[in-house]
Amino acid sequence: MSPPRDKKPSWDRLFEVASHQDGLFTTSQAQEAGYSPQLLAHHLRSGRIARVRRAIYRLVHFPLADSEDLTALWLWSERRGAFSHETALMLHQLSDALPRRPHLTLPCDWRRRRLRVPAELTLYYADIEVEDRAWFGAVHVTSPRRAVVDCAAASVSPELVAQAVDEGLYRGLFTLAMIAPAVDYLAEFGVAVDETPTVRDSPSLQSRGRTSPA
């Protein structure tokens, strides 16, 4: 679909959108800025923009961001998804989780869609309330509380869940009552959770300057 005839292309408007998305933008966002598919193709050939994946582009001269891959996947979800589960633990620095593939939760009604799911993505479906969403740079991520509870529900390694619970309690990100399902999950493995956590041995957490409370 081409932009309205009375909407002139505005590079400033397109740049403003992309600047909040690690230099990325979608075809529909470009159309809102007055760029037709033909004009996008022209800038693609000239090297001013580059295609990241289907219907998603980046401004070539925009500084590269470490989170660009996540931003591209979030734009693929039409900005409806939220990175979750172990990916959320990693982004919130709650544990040593290093998932091989990003975990993204989409709204339940997306189950009915015929999606071209990126091969590198692990999908979940749930309707996430506003209070359970947070920002990580340009993308949505589930809140620390929601991340821990989701990981417990998905039977993620109890060691990672216990570490995330301990870290979250230490940083005051949630209370035991707020993560009751995760506490119950850990109890199945004989792991008791204390309201006053102690630091677990974790090189990555220690490298962030975390020290044990006196």
Instruction: Tell me the average pLDDT of the chain.
Output: 90
pLDDT category, 5, cuts 50, 70, 90?
low
Please state whether beta strands 103-106 and 82-83 pair in parallel, antiparallel, or not at all (unpaired): antiparallel
DSSP 4: P
Pairing mode of beta strands 49-53, 24-26:
unpaired
CA dist 52 and 125 (Å) reads: 25
pLDDT in tens, 77-129: 999 999 999 999 999 999 999 999 999 999 999 999 998 999 999 999 999 99
Rounded CA gap, 154 and 177, in Å? 19
> What does the pLDDT average to over 182-196?
92
**Nearest Cα to Cα of residue 140 among 106, 113, 95:** 106
Q: Which two tokens stand for residue 163?
A: 């570490």
Mean per-residue pLDDT for 154-174? 96
